[in-house]
Amino acid sequence: MGVDMNRIIAENGVEVTDEMITDWEDALERDEWPTGWQNIGELSEERLPKSNCENVALSVKVPIGIKKAIEAEAKTEESRQVRSCEESSSIR
């Protein structure tokens, strides 16, 4: 049985059309909740807590400007994370 890459079927069995995706995009760009969408959890605007000091590899292609911005932010975050890991290691 092959996979039809031209069709997207949602978990509830409804076929997702290009028109639906365009409507969702338009609503989200207006900072509105798309028609038919339901919130199934609590909303939080806080940052997720760091659970540990482990890193993972992630490969994506981005414009060079974005890469430089990520690297600059990573340097700032790295210095904060190193201090955090050192502090949590000394607590144990």
Give me the pLDDT at residue 1, please.
Answer: 44
Segment 60-83 mean pLDDT: 81
pTM confidence score: 0.38
Give me the pLDDT at residue 91, please.
Answer: 52
Q: Are 84 and 76 contacting, i.e. CB atoms less than 8 angstroms apart?
A: no
The token duo for 15 is 């076929």
Residue 52 DSSP class:
-
38, pLDDT greater than 70: yes
- On average, the pLDDT of the chain sits at 78
Give me the pLDDT at residue 81, please.
Answer: 64
φ, ψ for residue 39 (rounded to 5)? -85, 125
φ, ψ for residue 70 (rounded to 5)? -65, -45
Segment 56-81 mean pLDDT: 82
